[in-house]
Structure 1
Amino acid sequence: MLISITALLFAAIAIALGVGGAWLAALGGSWYYIIAALGFLLTAIFLFKRRPAALWIYALVILGSLGWAVYEIGFDWWQLGTRGGVIVLLGLWLLAPWISRRTGGALPLAVAVLASLAVAGYSMLQDPHDIAGSLPTEQVTANPDLGGNMPPGDWRQYGRTPYGQRYSPLDQITPENVGSLRVAWTYQTGDIKQPEDIGETTYQVTPLKVHDTLYLCTPHNWAIAVDATTGKEKWKYDPNVGFNPDRQHQTCRGVSYYADPAAPPGQACAERVYLPTSDARLIALDAANGQICSSFADNGTLHLEQGMPYNPAGYYYSTSPPVVAEGKIIVGGAVNDNYSIHQQSGVIRAFDIHTGALIWNWDSGNPDETTPLPDGQKYTVNSPNSWSVSSVDENLGLIYVPLGNRVPDQLGMGRSEHVEKYSSSIVALDLNTGQVRWVHQTVHHDLWDMDVPAQPVLVDITKEDGAVVPALVGPTKQGDIYVLDRRTGEPIIPVEEVPAPSGAIPEDFTSPTQPTSGLTFSPPPLTEKDMWGVTMFDQLICRIEFHKLKYEGRYTPPSLQGTIVYPGNFGTFNWGSVAVDPVRQVMFAMPTYLAFTSKLVPRAEVPPPGEGTKGSEQGLNRNEGAPYAVLLNPFLSPLGIPCQAPPWGYVAGANLRTGKIVYKHKNGTIRDISPIPLPFEVGVPGIGGPMITAGGVAFLGAAVDDYFRAYDLTTGKQLWEARLPAGGQATPMSYTTEDGRQFVLIVAGGHGSVGTKPGDYVIAYTLPDS
């Protein structure tokens, strides 16, 4: 009876592999599955007949599959295991006495199974994706420009200083003692995700530390002050932003701090915290007590809807902290991606930090006119916006703005000359006038949502001849790291224009070339052999989908049949940016690799608006007013896991003086994304950013498993990890207290889009008392 049931199982597998394999072969894919189906079918036939040939034939299936798998991908355990797991398990079943004794022929099958297990064991010891190396440890400069005049134990802007280096000059924590870090205190904000919240409710804040106080915000835009030593709450301010289902994001990445140098000590609002809210307000609060500073703007509130072409409720707000520089507070904003062509302007505005009066406005749709917009006039509809964080060099008088695309991201028809010039670029604006000083575009005629997502990092780089060049390090979604002279925008590390795929829809076009930096983490193009699955069956489906979709490498244009976008619009790098050590002039980063798919949907086929069909970053993006909507999704198997093989996430180090990637190690486990909490280090995606210290340690949460980790900056090897009570999709920071202790802090609150556990935790770590 068992043999008959087993034979039926093998016959069913043969049918499934045969049908799927024939489909794959017809699409131009591998013939392996047809051959394997024949092997399963012959095994089934001879099992019914109780013949030894059944086990002999299946031994050939195992050995043939093993040879094919090693030929395709070498000794990569995570790819070998999923290709051969079911096959070997079935081989073990056939070796069971109740089958092998009745059929005979066990010896060759046993040899085949043992050979597979030997190869599996060997492959587990290999890591073909790893790049091992050591960053230089020499101090290139003893007195680097950190970009801000503040005590070394403070962290006063989002990236610590206006340069955005995410570098702390503290050196108490080292690779030798970081393993002793312990929780010093935990604070819970009380702002937790509510049933009425939108899906992408996220906690991404990096707190500021000034004197003895930490300042932070929450997803619903509460502003909170906490004692930096004890974690005790000092004050809390709730702006009552309410719930709005039209918001695409519900988050706050940080507040902005300002100290008035002319104010007498103790004067009300001499030190201020500026809070951006999700209902398009900017509120000035007294840093001492959280009271509103009524002298700013309209009784303490700046209404960012002024000059906007439409009502911004739910469709526009500043998700990132504004920049404070030269007596100004400079604000960009996020718009809802791909909801409608009738979007808010992407204008960048500088306001007087004391009064809220508009000083200048730079609108990429009208870039030459930066004097304050007269009352009654409106900014350009739907111009490229800046939703991330800008950097500032006050010595050069420049602010560096990372720009996104205009809506719709995937449709380039009708874009103006200015949109074509400024989309997906880094723009240097004059701090005093808002006039453009230079622009460097990272994607031409962007059809893939390749916004420049990250704060540019400013650092001085010493060249081999000893010359010091003020540089800008700009991470991008497509994985390129642009290293530019921040005075002129000219590349320091060469940038090459390379041919790009054509084949846009008839109404649109593609750029014949696209830029690529000499320092890039962009992955090689996908091939069929890169398709993956938990079993050979879902891998087969992913192979079929790969061939059904349009794909000619990076920058394959959107299509009606569906296109693979790789790297996807999730980004190799996102708003978390990179961290740079200005002393050693090296970089630490977290490249992530996830393919997405995009499919254009003609307007006549777009369903009426309804639940779950409005603009979002996944699913159907309606693009109201455009001829096509777009269907955007990660490229996933039927089981909901990526169709591309892991690793999906790494930590990496690069030498900024040479432009070379020195190490790259897979990062993170599947513990919190698999049905069973398995601690397998596969290398998982992440969203968030790193921070490094003068002690030679890099810190990072971000990965979709709930851990906070420390790494040796020199080698990238993991040194320590701590389990978090929720997702750690925020960038950490470091500071000291009056007693001289160095703390490292991260917010753990989860991320709605990547599915990590929500929470409201602020956790500080320090070394135990000696």
Structure 2
Amino acid sequence: MVQAPRPPLLTGFVVLLSGIVLLAGGLWLAVIGGSWYYAGTGALLLATGVMLLRGQPSALLLYATVVAITLLWSLWEAGLDWWPLAARGDVIFVLGLWLLMPWVQRGLVHEDDWRRSRHPRGPALLLGSVLAAFALVAAGSWMHDPHELAGTTPPALGRTPQDHSVPDGEWHAWGGTNAGRRYSPLAQLTPENVERLQVAWQYRTGDVRGRPGEPVETTYEVTPLKIGNRLLLCTPHQVVIALDATTGSALWRRAMPIQGLGTLALQHQTCRGLSYRPPPAGSAASDFCAARLYMPTIDGRVHALDLASGRPCENFGAGGSIDLWDRMPHRRPGGYYSTSPVAVAGDRIVVGGTVLDNVSVAEPSGVIRAFDAETGALLWNWDPGRPDQTEPLPPGQHYTPSSPNSWSVAAVDEALGLIYLPMGNQPPDQWGAKRGAASERFASSVVALELATGRLRWVFQTVHHDLWDYDVPAQPSLLELSVGASTVPALVQATKQGEIFVLDRRSGQPLLPVSELPAPRTTMPGERSAPTQPKSGLSFDPRPLTEHDMWGATMFDQLACRIAFRRLRYEGRFTPPSLQGSLVYPGNFGVFNWGGIAVDPARQTAFTTPAYLAFVSQLVARPDDRALVVQGEERPHDSLPALNENFGAPYAVRLSPFTSPLGIPCQAPPWGYVAGVDLVSGHRIWQHRNGTVRDLSPLPLPFRMGVPSLGGPVLTAGGLAFLSGTLDDYVRGYEASTGREIWRARLPAGGQATPMTYLGADGRQYLVVVAGGHGSLGTRAGDHVIAYALPR
């Protein structure tokens, strides 16, 4: 008796269900102007599923057609780019392999024919051949990386002027020196010996995020200082620590007194670093408070500490601190403080600060102030709302509310007598209808002020009428560039939108061309947008996204991303926020953020870490100034602020990364690179994807997809660069001339801080990484300070 086949019911149902989902979603995508591939493939899979349920061998022929169409369509859309190909073909390929399994094929023929090998092999052979072709194309894409750019930086240009403000083996400021180069003249570590680096010592601070009432963005972002044989750093919970730089043993520790702790309206809780003032001329280094540290705290104060002991310098301000809330409008403890180290310039310190983003239209001022480094007396104030009145504001008066602020790190040129400040926006970030003339002039700009008086020397705006939170996030880098036959004092400014502006730091005039390009116009009533936006001759502005760039772990979430892309407003970079939701690319995470870039003054090049993540910005109408309209389940606890509510504005804003239903970016990787650029010509010399998804995926997959980093690189005269800020838990060493990764070490926590290097008392060059994790990025929490060196 001939036994009828038992159709592969489960397989048939899976294929049928896949077809239904693709057909429904594909029709939706097609109706809103997208690709017809998904609808057509869904229809074919639906038919294939029905045939499988009926036990028809011709189902394999129809499925082979699906595989062939998918292969050709994938090559047309993505070329030989592995990760985009994988997202388009993974489900189709795996289902095809499953259909070739004996237990599936047995259900498509009579049992007697199967035993006697009389079943038709043509459909299976055809399907196998098409799958083999798919596999060959995939293998070919592994050999080809369209995102790589190979090259070598030019050699050093003769004798480079040395910066003698800091001894070669030390690190006196957040960027190494006040020039903000993140460059060390040390050359003991080289590409030839870096693979021998090993942990020399490790220190645990005991400060780990997760305390009740703290903001989500509680994070280690500190770069230590190295002064003499002391290593000095601060922690997110406002502890200052001094270590022996050679052994890592603790010398002293001081928990800073915080006024109103537990009632602070904090958006961020971090400390990027300390500031150092050397002993003034005529004083001995051993004198109490002759050598000082300055520490800004989350309650809006700046403290002066004795370098040797950590004790307060009580002649500074009131008992060792100055109150930044003095003359400040809209006092709300926690709503204003300096997250970045203050600038020390001779006999004065210059202080900016951060204000709450997108909470209300009534925030503290973005005033920049200079104080006497010894006494803490106010010397001048530059208020963007009153830029020409720099004499100290009389007591009882207030600075201009909600004026543009400078939350990042300043750079100083004492020879020119100028301080350079990267500026932010007038809040709220995504609604600018009520901004005044001063905000329009100074927001999202680089400002040069005279150190002696605070008067404005020049301003260069990087974004006009910023509606995207494209504030200038990074410390400017100062170096001398060879332009023609002249040597020009230059300023290099990296920005969130991917521009690197190279300016003459005496005048603010561009050294590389800057053009004004047309920008999309807003459709919001009462709002306006700038008709053009500046673009530098040195730009990491990403290519505009298209539907082809949508990605996902599977074809299903890629389809969801394509639908989301078509539903959002997107007209390229500078698409204004809207009620329907606008795609902002690059997003406010930034191509570059506060970590900035590292510059090599000898080669006149920069080591950069561009990142690319799209965000969604959607305005939400406010019914009044009390309702929480965008908080959802993330309503603030205790004193934490209601972020993105924009109280006092007509619209709140809903901000989110542009991700698939599985929570991965909707745009195809790479999402992060390292790149080398020539600062004189503006040319990109080399570029490589950087970092893995090992610590970002549910399984520890070491795929080198290229991930963003937060925290900058450091360069050395030995031909190396180091970076620890990538979102996987590694510190990496690179050959600086080519960008080739030649060393890496696993970190116990996220390393979202900028490394530094120095010479120990034992004559060894040390590399120090702070690994404590980043709260809002969700990297692993820790409290580690790790020093690497060559074996003794």
Q: Secondary structure at the match of 1:502?
A: coil
**Does the alignment pair 1:123 with 2:141?**
yes
Is the Cα–Cα contact under 8 Å of residues 392 and 400 in structure 1 kept in the other structure? yes
Alignment of 1:311-330 (within 5 A): 311-330=331-350
**Which residue does 1:168 correspond to in 2?**
184
Which whole-Å CA distance do the structure 1 matches of 2:742 and 2:349 have between them?
A: 39
Q: Equivalent residue for 1:377?
A: 397
1:391-402 equivalences in 2 (<5 Å): 391-402=411-422
CA offset at residue 466 of structure 1?
2.7
Report the Cα distance in structure 2 between the residues aligned to 1:86 and 1:611, rounded to whole angstroms. Answer: 34
Equivalent in 113, 133, 146 of residue 131 of structure 2: 113
Report what 1:612 is aligned to: 634
The whole-number CA distance in structure 2 between the counterparts of 1:102 and 1:446 is: 63
Residue 207 of structure 1: which of 210, 221, 224 is its match?
224
CA distance in 2, matches of 1:60, 1:698: 50
Q: Is the Cα contact below 8 Å between 1:618 and 1:631 reproduced in 2? A: no
CA RMSD in angstroms comes to 1.6
Q: 1:753 to 1:287 in 2, by over 3 A?
A: same
> Partner residue of 1:178?
194
Equivalent residue, structure 2, for 1:741: 764
Given that 2:20 and 2:43 are in contact with CA atoms closer than 8 Å, whether structure 1 keeps it comes out as no
Query: Which whole-Å CA distance do the structure 1 matches of 2:641 and 2:602 have between them?
Result: 41
Counterpart CA distance in 1 for 2:632 and 2:101 is 55
**The residue matched to 1:647 in structure 2 has which SS?**
coil
Give the alignment partner of residue 502 of structure 2, picking from 480, 483, 495.
483
Does the 8 Å CA contact 1:620/1:629 hold for their aligned counterparts?
no
- Establish whether residue 638 from structure 1 lines up as the match of residue 661 from structure 2: yes
Q: Which amino acid aligns with 1:176?
A: E
Q: In the alignment, which residue of structure 1 is the partner of 2:267? A: 248
CA contact (8 A) 1:459 1:470 kept: yes
Q: Structure 2 residue aligned with 1:552, among 568, 571, 578?
A: 571
Please tell me the residue identity of whatever aligns with 1:594.
Answer: L
What amino acid does structure 1 have at the position aligned with 2:563? I
Is 1:582 the counterpart of 2:601? The answer is yes
Equivalent position SS for 2:166: coil
- Summarize the Cα distance change of 1:592–1:619 in structure 2 as closer, same or farther, 3 Å threshold: farther
- In the aligned structure 2, how far is the partner of 1:642 from the partner of 1:493? 33
Matched, 1:518 2:541: no
Give the Cα separation in 1 of the matches to 2:418 and 2:232. 26
Q: Are the counterparts in 1 of residues 264 and 640 from structure 2 also a CA contact under 8 Å?
A: no
Q: How does 1:332-481 map to 2 (within 5 A)?
A: 332-463=352-483, 465-481=484-500
Counterparts of 1:598 and 1:515, CA distance in 2: 22
Contact 2:383–2:399, Cα closer than 8 Å, also in 1: yes
Superposition deviation, residue 578 in structure 1: 0.3
Q: Which amino acid aligns with 2:89?
A: G
Amino acid at match of 2:520: P
Write the deviation string for residues 280-301 of structure 1: whole angstroms up to 9, x where unpaired. 1111110010111100000101
Shift in CA distance, 681/626, structure 1 to aligned 2, threshold 3 Å: same
What runs of 5+ residues in structure 1 fail to find an aligned partner? none
Provide the rounded CA distance (Å) in 2 between the counterparts of 1:369 and 1:126.
Answer: 59
SS in structure 2 of the partner of residue 81 of structure 1: helix
Letter in 2 for 1:439: V
2:243 maps to 1:226: yes
1:397-427 per-position Cα deviation (integer Å, ceiling 9, x unaligned)? 1000000111010011111111100000000
- Structure 1 residue 41 displacement after superposition: 1.4
User: C-alpha offsets along residues 106-139 of structure 1, whole Å, 9 cap, x if unaligned?
Assistant: 0110011111111111111211111111111x22
Q: Note closer, same or farther for the CA distance 1:517–1:657 as it changes in structure 2 (3 Å cut).
A: same
Does the CA-based 8 Å contact 1:359-1:372 persist in structure 2? Answer: yes
Q: What is the match of residue 111 of structure 2?
A: none
Match for residue 90 of structure 2 among 85, 89, 92: 85
Q: Is the 8 A contact 2:182 2:598 kept in 1?
A: yes
Q: Which residue of 1 aligns with 2:728?
A: 705
Cα distance in 2 for residues equivalent to 1:144 and 1:170 = 15
Instruction: Check if 1:600 corresponds to 2:619.
Output: yes
SS across alignment from 2:217: coil
Letter in 2 for 1:755: G
User: How far apart are 1:236 and its partner, in Å?
Assistant: 0.7
Q: SS state of the match for residue 621, structure 1?
A: coil
Partner of 2:15: 10
Quote the offset at 1:44 in angstroms. Answer: 1.3
Deviation for aligned residue 1:536: 0.3
**Structure 1 pair 265–69 and aligned structure 2 pair: CA distance change class (3 A):** closer
CA distance in structure 1 between the partners assigned to 2:690 and 2:781 by the alignment = 21
1:720 aligns with 2:725: no
**Is this contact kept in 2: 1:423–1:441, CA < 8 A?**
yes
User: 1:507: how far off?
Assistant: 1.0
Offset at residue 686 of structure 1 (A): 1.3
TM-score between the two structures when normalised by the length of structure 1: 0.98
1:51 to partner: Cα distance: 2.0
- Which protein is bigger by CA-based radius of gyration? 2
Partner in structure 1 of residue 24 of structure 2: 19
Is the alpha carbon distance of 1:218 and 1:560 closer, same or farther for their aligned partners in structure 2, counting shifts above 3 Å?
A: same
Cα drift, residue 259 of structure 1: 1.7
Indicate if the aligned counterparts of 2:359 and 2:641 stay in contact, CA closer than 8 A. Answer: no
CA distance in structure 2 between the aligned counterparts of 1:637 and 1:342, rounded to whole angstroms: 35
CA drift at 1:145: 4.4
How many correspondences in the alignment?
Answer: 766
How far apart are the structure 2 equivalents of 1:572 and 1:49?
54
Matched, 1:49 2:60: no
Q: Which whole-Å deviations, capped at 9, do the CAs of 1:319-340 have from their partners, x for residues lacking one?
A: 0000000211100001110011
In 2: Cα distance, 1:101 partner to 1:737 partner: 72
Do the aligned residues in 2 keep the contact of 1:332 with 1:386 (CA within 8 Å)? Answer: yes
Secondary structure of 2:75's match?
helix
2-structure distance, mates of 1:78, 1:193? 35
CA distance in 1, matches of 2:229, 2:351: 27
Aligned twin of 2:75: 70
* Letter in structure 2 aligned against 1:331: V
Q: Does 1:757 align with 2:780?
A: yes
Three-state SS of the structure 2 residue aligned to 1:710 is strand
Q: Normalising to structure 2: TM-score of the pair?
A: 0.95
Letter in 2 for 1:175: P
Paired residue for 1:142, among 140, 159, 171?
159
| Alignment partner, residue 217 of structure 1 | 234
The aligned residue for residue 44 of structure 2 is: 39
Q: Is the 8 A contact 2:470 2:588 kept in 1?
A: yes
Q: Which deviates further from its counterpart, 474-483 or 8-17?
A: 8-17
**Is the Cα–Cα contact under 8 Å of residues 29 and 543 in structure 1 kept in the other structure?**
yes
Q: Identify the match of residue 305 of structure 2 among 276, 285, 291.
A: 285
Would you say the 8 A contact 2:7–2:107 is kept in 1?
A: no
CA distance in 2, matches of 1:28, 1:295: 69
Q: What 5-or-longer segments of structure 2 have no aligned partner?
A: 1-5, 109-119
Instruction: Determine the C-alpha separation between the residues in 2 that align with 1:365 and 1:343.
Output: 13
Distance 2:379 2:615 in 1: 41
Separation in structure 1 between the aligned mates of residue 679 and residue 230 of structure 2, nearest angstrom: 34
1:538 maps to which of 550, 557, 569: 557
Check conservation: 1:478, 1:571, Cα contact below 8 A: yes
* Per-residue deviation, residues 136-182 of structure 1 (Å, max 9, x unmatched): 1x221423243x51210000001011100000000000011001000
Q: Percent identity?
A: 55
User: Distance between the aligned counterparts of 2:600 and 2:262, measured in 1?
Assistant: 41
The whole-number CA distance in structure 2 between the counterparts of 1:513 and 1:579 is 29
